[in-house]
Amino acid sequence: MTNEDAGRIRPDVRAALRECRLWRSASESAVDAFASSARVQDAPRGTALLAEGEPAERFGVVVAGKVRIYHLAADGRRITFETLETGDPVSVVAALAGGRYPAHAETVTPATIAWLTRDALFDLIAAEPEAARDLVTDLANRVVNFTAVVQTLALDVPARLARYLFQRALAAGNPSPSGLEVDLGMPKSELASALGTVPETLSRAFARLRDSGVVEVHGRRVVVLDVRGLATLGSGYVEE
Amino acid sequence: MTNEDAGRIRPDVRAALRECRLWRSASESAVDAFASSARVQDAPRGTALLAEGEPAERFGVVVAGKVRIYHLAADGRRITFETLETGDPVSVVAALAGGRYPAHAETVTPATIAWLTRDALFDLIAAEPEAARDLVTDLANRVVNFTAVVQTLALDVPARLARYLFQRALAAGNPSPSGLEVDLGMPKSELASALGTVPETLSRAFARLRDSGVVEVHGRRVVVLDVRGLATLGSGYVEE
DNA sequence: TCTTGACCTTGACGCGGGTCAAATCAGGGA
DNA sequence: TCCCTGATTTGACCCGCGTCAAGGTCAAGA
């Protein structure tokens, strides 16, 4: 780990902090002050950044690279909660809650992390009410998302996959002659983990969707032929 | 629903708002101002307070009674997220996130709810930085709790039950000759829903724990004979 | 062309647990 | 005391999915 001189803020660190949605409305000077308190870590791929159960004394912001947040179940199975990229905060909720880290974090690629303290963040929101509002809104959205995750886990795997593809198709689908084309952007084994299952079961789920005629699968590229059918299989939420 | 005159704050409403941990550090005057903006609803048992999917325009605080927060899965199964009592906030995260309610809420007993607006809460935390800190901490704790819920759902039902009984035994167990006695305080069918299962499976889980010799079951009263064994079945976390 | 290895797919099998149905139990009222 | 209603328990059955094992595909490299 490298300690940065407060007087010299790395441009990539400043940019990443500026991009972080937790304090989007904060002033430039507040972010700079914040950035100058950061401790920057450049880590190779596969580095354990923090371990579940440790006291949560600090939090991070991803400056570059990808970071995986996951839980190791008692039987050794790994549940991936999320994969973080530039500008995303790492374990900020644990640090704010003041307890212990509820999950592990490790780098998936070579990555740079800026580490900050809970108190620095409290100072920031005390000084800038707009930032407090950003932070509260973001935390509230996380809770809502977790609620959705719990609900999704009640669905079977094909439905979870359908819901995932539906969201991806709407958010990042490229129109093509036969339908919306989605690039998974990760190995299917990775997707399986993100959906809370294993590659074999995911493979069968893809086969089901293919046989139902709602998607075509070509390696990592998936063509959604029937968006509405996909939404139905994913149990509703056609709205919006 | 009854609109309260701003000049006359119902004492039970004031007390409930005062008790709410979201703004524990707020001044008396701030809470009174907040309380005077509340709209109070006295609802009989079984009243639907809000429905999943509706725009989240307001949030509530339970003044009296019990409120169940739950999700209806596509197949009609009901998943109870939590049961709220006096001083607990209702759907405050949805209101803060500004989206739609992620779950249903209904009264389990006759209940009184004080309804408040998102803007009133933002005004409160803008005026009182300490309250902002309370709110942020509480939201962060909710996220951590949800993380724990997701992890718990990865366990089988006997393990989930063991974990639940372990926590209850530590938090509210009465020493008795043979061990810690815990009163479930609800029908087993209710407990089954809270643990994400059905009464039949819960009954079998109790039978497993009984046959293992870690608990005795007498209706709603459970005597924990072997706290350590219970913790082991619940997959660890003996610490603390 | 022949490896080698990463990734994906398919089949067989077992277990957990949800569902249906029936038996049992518990409490309240006439 | 007897009956009725709701809660709880038990047994039988089925389905989803995780696991183990066996290919299959593809690309890089010798």
Where chain A has pLDDT below 50, the residues are 1-6, 237-240
Q: What gap in Å lies between CA B44 and CA B201, rounded to an integer?
A: 32
- Strand B221-224: give its sheet, edge to edge: B174-175, B180-183, B221-224, B215-218
Q: Are B80 and B68 in contact (CB under 8 A)?
A: yes
pLDDT above 70: residue B119: yes
Its sign, for the CA torsion B193, B198, B201, B204, is positive
Amino acid at A44: P
Helix (H, G, I), strand (E, B) or coil at A28: helix
B51 touches chain A (CB under 8 A): no
Q: Say if CB A43 and CB A111 are below 8 A apart.
A: yes
The verdict on a CB contact (< 8 Å) between A93 and B154 is no
Distance CA A62, CA A40 (A): 10
pLDDT, position A148:
85
Q: CA–CA separation, A93 vs B188, rounded Å? A: 33
The pair of three-digit structure tokens given for residue A140, joined into one six-digit string: 């509230």
Q: In this predicted structure, what is the pLDDT of residue A75?
A: 64
CA distance B141 to A97: 5
H helices present in chain A, as ranges: 11-19, 28-36, 92-97, 118-127, 129-153, 157-172, 188-194, 199-211, 227-233
Query: In sequence order, what DSSP letters do the residues of chain B get, joined into one string?
Result: -EEPPTT---HHHHHHHHH-GGGTT--HHHHHHHHHT-EEEEE-TT-EEE-TTSB--EEEEEEES-EEEEEE-TTS-EEEEEEE-TT-EESHHHHHHTSB-SSEEEESSSEEEEEEEHHHHHHHHHH-HHHHHHHHHHHHHHHHHHHHHHHHHTS-HHHHHHHHHHHHHHHHPEE-SSSEEEE--S-HHHHHHHTTS-HHHHHHHHHHHHHTTSEEEETTEEEES-HHHHHHHTT-----
What pLDDT is stored for residue A136 in this prediction? 93
**Interface test with chain A among B78, B133, B142, B193, by most A beta carbons within 10 Å:** B142
**CA pair distance A153, A123, nearest whole angstrom:** 37
Is the distance between the Cβ of B60 and the closest atom of strand C smaller than 7 Å? Answer: no
User: In this structure, is the CB of residue A64 within 7 Å of any atom belonging to strand C?
Assistant: no
> What whole-number distance in Å separates Cα of residue A227 and Cα of residue A37?
47
Considering only residues 105 to 124 of chain A, which have any Cβ-Cβ distance to chain B shorter than 8 Å?
122
- Interface size A-B, in CB pairs within 8 Å, comes to 133
Is residue A46 left, alpha or beta, with left meaning phi > 0 and alpha meaning psi from -120 to 50?
Answer: left
For residues B184 and B191, give the distance between their C-alpha atoms in angstroms, rounded to a whole number. 8
Q: Which residue is nearest to nucleotide D16 (CA to C1')?
A: A156
Q: What is the pLDDT of residues B178-227, one digit of tens each?
A: 889 999 989 999 999 989 899 999 999 999 999 999 999 998 999 999 99
DSSP tag of A35: H
Distance CA B16, CA B10 (A): 10
For the segment 200-219 of chain A, residues whose CB is within 7 A of strand D: 200-201, 205
How is residue A22 annotated by DSSP?
G
Q: What confidence tier does B239 reach under pLDDT thresholds 50, 70, 90?
A: very low
Nearest to B137 by CA among A121, A158, A86: A121
Query: B56 to chain A: nearest residue by CA?
Result: A144
Which residues have C-beta within 8 Å of that of residue A9, sequence separation ≥ 6? Answer: A32, A35, A36
A130: helix, coil or strand?
helix
pLDDT at A156: 92
**Distance of alpha carbon A149 from its chain centroid, rounded?**
13
A140 beta carbon to strand C: under 7 Å: no
Rounded, the Å distance between the CA of B156 and C1' of C16 is 8
**Residue holding tokens 């789920």?**
A205
Tokens coding B111: 């209940």
- Give contacts of A101 with chain B, Cβ < 8 Å: none
User: CB distance from B33 to chain A under 8 Å?
Assistant: no
Q: With 90 as the cut, is the pLDDT of residue B152 above it?
A: no
Query: What backbone phi and psi angles, to 5 degrees, belong to B159?
Result: -70, -40
Q: What is the DSSP letter of A85?
A: -
pLDDT of residue A3: 47
What was the pLDDT predicted at A239?
41
Structure tokens at B223: 């005597």
Of the candidates A73, A79, A154, the beta carbon closest to that of B79 is on A154
Does A174 touch chain B if contact means CB atoms closer than 8 Å? Answer: no
Between these two residues, A178 and B37, which has the higher pLDDT value?
B37
CA atoms within 13 A on the CB side of A151: 24
Answer yes or no: are the C-beta atoms of A178 and A221 closer than 8 Å: no
Please tell me whether any atom of strand C lies within 7 Å of the Cβ of B201.
yes
Q: What average pLDDT does the segment B168-181 reach?
A: 87
pLDDT at residue B76 in the model = 65
Q: Which two tokens stand for residue A17?
A: 């902090």
Chain mean pLDDT for chain B = 88
Helix (H) or strand (E) holding A90: strand A89-90
pLDDT value of position B182: 92
Q: Which of residues 66-85 of A touch B (CB under 8 A)?
A: 71, 73-74, 77, 79, 81
